[in-house]
Amino acid sequence: MMILHNVVFGTANDHPREDQERVIQEYLGALFHAGQACGEYFFTWIDGRLNAHILLAGHNARARRYHSKWGKEALREVVRVFGQEPVWRVIDDDAPKRNTTWRGAPFLFLATDAFDWDSPVCRGDTGRAIPLYTLPIDFLQKEFLYFWQGAYRDHDNLWFGCGALEIPVYKQLALPDSELSQQGRDFCKHIEAATGVETYYYLMRYWGRRKGDEKRRCPGCGGAWSRPVTEGDSFRFFDFPFMCKKCRLVSHAASCNDDERYAHIGEYRSAKRKRTRR
């Protein structure tokens, strides 16, 4: 759903270039924190005018009605410095005319990874990302989600690196009660309360067992959580073979069963076993 835009801010000869860039950075930063922008952006100076190229998270994402209080204040500062509002131009040939909405979805899920810049909130029937700025949650929650997604990407990148932090980081991604997972699950509760749509948290599962992994219990409550998925659907990310309605958790089958040393990570542990491991 990311749409590339060119934004022309104009010229402000009465202000140093550093001040002009600072004002724009504050404005664009507000768009990111409100879920209106995603990915990265960069500046260019063309014929003495300051431009920015930025990915917006959906159709009409720059509309003022989606701005936070901070965003509106930053926009006023832009107008004060440049004497005009920014001029936006879509430079994406395949820009959608409508946003993916949470309305009518059978369920929503929260998932992201090291390479994902789109919204981490997705529909359960199509897997399409729902722009954060369209969700009926307050701006503080949108900002927290923005930072949570950045933290998840950082963890995922560290895990890919396979260094000394590989296993501690994997625990953050795979355990339902890790700090990262708990934050994500709290966001799911806020989203579900606001939309009325069941919202699930995705747990990574990389290491598994050679036998019986498909029958593993929910790591949250210990109940059954496997569900039938047809062979054709199994290649679609959002067709989760594991789903617990009670704990609002979803997951996939393990990607690797060659090394069972770490298969216990992300599996159900009774209260007695938890005390023993401590």
pLDDT digits (tens, 9 = 90+) for 141-196: 999 999 999 999 999 999 998 889 999 999 999 999 999 999 999 999 999 999 99
Instruction: Please indicate, yes or no, whether residues 121 and 202 belong to a single structural domain of this protein.
Output: yes
Instruction: Please indicate, yes or no, whether residues 116 and 233 belong to a single structural domain of this protein.
Output: yes
Please tell me the total count of domains within the chain: 2
Instruction: Please indicate, yes or no, whether residues 133 and 231 belong to a single structural domain of this protein.
Output: yes
* pLDDT the model gives residue 234: 63
Which amino acid makes up residue 259? D
- Given a cut of 50, is residue 278 above it in pLDDT? no
Domain boundary at 36, 64, 90, which?
A: 90
Residue 135 forms part of a structural domain: yes
- Given a cut of 90, is residue 6 above it in pLDDT? yes
Alpha helices in the chain (DSSP H): 17-33, 69-82, 139-161, 166-174, 179-195, 271-277
Give pLDDT tens digits for 51-107.
999 999 999 999 999 999 999 999 999 999 999 999 999 998 878 889 999 999 999
Instruction: Please indicate, yes or no, whether residues 189 and 222 belong to a single structural domain of this protein.
Output: yes
Backbone angles phi, psi at 235, to 5 degrees: -90, -5
* pLDDT the model gives residue 93: 80
The end-to-end CA distance of the chain, in Å, is 44
Asked if 1 and 58 count as a contact pair (C-beta separation under 8 A), the reply is yes
Instruction: Please indicate, yes or no, whether residues 36 and 113 belong to a single structural domain of this protein.
Output: no
Instruction: Please indicate, yes or no, whether residues 157 and 35 belong to a single structural domain of this protein.
Output: no
* pLDDT the model gives residue 236: 86
- Given a cut of 60, is residue 277 above it in pLDDT? no
CB atoms within 10 A of CB 231: 6
Residue 156 forms part of a structural domain: yes
Nearest to 101 by CA among 59, 142, 140: 59
Torsion of CA 132, 225, 214, 161, to 10 degrees: 30
CA atoms within 13 A on the CB side of 56: 25
Residue 15 forms part of a structural domain: yes
Instruction: Please indicate, yes or no, whether residues 271 and 189 belong to a single structural domain of this protein.
Output: yes
* pLDDT the model gives residue 94: 79
- Report the mean per-residue pLDDT for the chain: 92
Instruction: Please indicate, yes or no, whether residues 257 and 130 belong to a single structural domain of this protein.
Output: yes
Residue 98 forms part of a structural domain: no
Residue 186 forms part of a structural domain: yes
Instruction: Please indicate, yes or no, whether residues 130 and 201 belong to a single structural domain of this protein.
Output: yes
- Given a cut of 60, is residue 273 above it in pLDDT? no
Residue 99 forms part of a structural domain: no
Domain boundary at 39, 63, 90, which?
A: 90
Place of tokens 């009774």: 270
* pLDDT the model gives residue 49: 85
Residue ranges making up the domain that contains 212:
108-277
Instruction: Please indicate, yes or no, whether residues 128 and 84 belong to a single structural domain of this protein.
Output: no
Q: Exposure of 163 by Cβ count < 10 A (0-12 exposed, 13-18 middle, 19+ buried)?
A: exposed
Instruction: Please indicate, yes or no, whether residues 84 and 117 belong to a single structural domain of this protein.
Output: no
Give residue 272's pLDDT band: very low, low, confident or very high (50, 70, 90). Answer: very low
Residue 101 forms part of a structural domain: no
Rounded CA separation 109/129 (Å): 10
CATH number at 19 reads 3.30.70.100
